[in-house]
Amino acid sequence: MLSAAEKKMIRTLHRKSERQERRLFLVEGPTLVREALDAGWAFERVVATAGWPVPPALASACVTVSQDELGAVSAMEAPNQVLAAVRMPDEAPPPQPSGLVLCLDDVQDPGNLGTILRSAAWFGVERVVCSPDCVERFNPKVVQASMGAVFRVPVHVVPLPAYLGNLPTSTAVAGAVLDGANVYTVDHPEPAVLVLGNEARGLSAGVMARIRTPVTIPRLGSGESLNVAMAATVLCSVWREEPLRGPSVARL
């Protein structure tokens, strides 16, 4: 059973300001909890219903509750067996890119960020660098949509104009824009930083000024626009086509 104080503490983690203040965030459901554990994240508290098989490493942090108690602290519509308060890692500045980096300028939708992290993990993106006005990666909907990729892909939050402006000249800086070069036909060197903008407004002026190669995914049909997560995924696929053609772990 949870104390009233603990209930209250966990419920405060539904809010970004409290998550950032406490440096804790919520991870829900057996699959995501397992992913966080396997990836070595630190657990502050684990709240589970009786049926959940508690991994030995989490036994001391775990308290057993009723389904109603779990529902009372969960951020999900259908709480699923277990919820954990997990510690955020220390913030570190992003190192210079050695492979492929995704950079997100004011991406707002939690589902989009979660899906971008998932694709980033798939295509071997080394890290994701977010502008401070992006949706928070520890938002419960981002964590959920990432299917655990949030635990595996390093994410940094830094002002993008300074980050992009300080990249070595040997690093490609490609930005997704409306009237750039055809991304399928430009060269795809690495290290490279691929930059995507806000769902409605695209890249901000300060970021646009740092783009060295503006690129566009050409349109063959009648579509109005591509979802930013789709655009990010296509850019990764196109940029990495050469290694993707080689021998590699294959699974859809």
List of residues contacting a copy of itself (CB under 8 A): 35, 111, 115, 118-125, 147-149, 152-153, 176-180, 182, 184-185, 202, 216-227, 229-231, 233-234, 237-238, 240-241, 243-245, 248-252
DSSP three-state, residue 188? coil
Instruction: Say which residue the tokens 């502008």 belong to.
Output: 131
Q: Torsion angle of alpha carbons 250, 110, 95, 188, nearest 10°?
A: 50
Smallest gap from residue 152 Cβ to a copy of itself (A): 5
Question: Of 209, 232, 11, which is closest to residue 134 (Cα–Cα)?
Answer: 232
Complex with a copy of itself: residue 47 or 197, whichever CB lies closer: 197
Beta bridge partners of 108: none
Nearer to a copy of itself, 94 or 148 (CB): 148
CB closer to a copy of itself, 26 vs 145 = 145
Least distance between a copy of itself and beta carbon 173 (Å) = 16
Comparing CB distances to a copy of itself, the nearer of 157 and 234 is 234
Minimum CB separation of residue 114 from a copy of itself in Å reads 9
Least Å from the CB of residue 91 to a copy of itself: 22
What DSSP string describes 99-166? SEEEEESS---HHHHHHHHHHHHHTT--EEEE-TTSPPTTSHHHHHHTTTGGGTS-EEE--HHHHHHT
